Chains A and B, each alone.
Chain A
């Protein structure tokens, strides 16, 4: 079991560039979420999914898109990167809406 995997581990973008952060899980979890972690601010929910084909916005969705075509994968797209999106991004999955989440190792993104 690989658990939750994320790629890349590090990424540097220029302002205005787009990219996709990949997330995959092999635990057959229905629920998947994307968070960003900024110093002193804990984790903030960007988008989440309750199953294949179903996504919804979290607390800070602006500038990000998601889709969920399979149970395993939940990519996060940055449409036009801005310096304010410099952060560490974590993907997480769980069986259900009240269960513990399993986190990936994170992607450290810097936008210059």
Chain B
């Protein structure tokens, strides 16, 4: 079946540091790929998405590129802020949904 493997956390960075959270997937067919963010006590919110190979999703300074050849969708941000502290989930949809286990990011001032 489909699966998503996310970089294990937690991740702690200083403000303005570069962020990478790795995500690789296994799927049949051509799923859509997503990054969601969850703040404490809230539901998940869409951060960005890509629907086909080589698509780049971007939002609020975050980026991820759908890489079919390496089955990856790594999340990057050039300069993180304290307000980016949250849990980040990589997910795919090709019918049913599959989520990674989440990566907790803490950004310190």
Contacts and interface: CB of A to CB of B under 8 A. Distances in A.
Interface residues of B, number: 23
A42 B89 contact: yes
* Interface secondary structure of B, over-half rule: strand
Contacts, number: 57
Contacts of A102: 46
B99 to A, nearest CB: 4
Contacts of A44: 99
Contact of A103 (B45, B93, B95, B100): B45
Interface residues of A, number: 24
Given A100-B46, A105-B42, A45 B100 contact: no
Nearest to B89: A42
Interface of A: 4, 33, 35, 40-45, 48, 58, 90, 92, 94, 97-106
